[in-house]
Amino acid sequence: MDIWLLSSMILMVWVGLAVIRVVIGPTAPDRVVVLDTINIIVVSTMILLSVAFKEAILIDVAIVYALLSFVGTLYIVKYLGREK
């Protein structure tokens, strides 16, 4: 098995563990941090898969996904900041 695909599978295991943490997270800010972590892992996996399959388009998709997830995280944090 290719090292890039193996690394991608390991990262997806980490996403599964992070999803469990989202479910059991005690507070909303904890859940936001874990969702941001999941986004980072997904972007990393996209880049690893682009290397494995030799497809440059996946890097562009990963960049757009990273920008959109960052903006989404900012809006969630702004919404949570109003609650106090």
DSSP per-residue letters across 3-56:
HHHHHHHHHHHHHHHHHHHHHH-SSHHHHHHHHHHHHHHHHHHHHHHHHHHT-T
Neighbour tally for 34: CB within 10 Å: 19
Segment 8-50, tens digit of pLDDT = 889 889 999 999 999 998 998 899 999 999 999 999 989 988 9
Task: Tell me the pLDDT tens digit for each residue of 48-75.
Answer: 889 888 999 999 999 999 999 999 999 9
Q: What's the pLDDT score for residue 52? A: 86
Contacts of 21-29 with C-beta under 8 Å, sequence gap 24+, read 28/80, 29/80
| Per-residue pLDDT, 47 | 93
Token couple for 35: 């969702």
Confidence (pLDDT) at 2: 79
pLDDT of 84: 59
User: CA 70, CA 84: separation in Å to the nearest integer?
Assistant: 23
**Location of structure tokens 């980072």:** 40
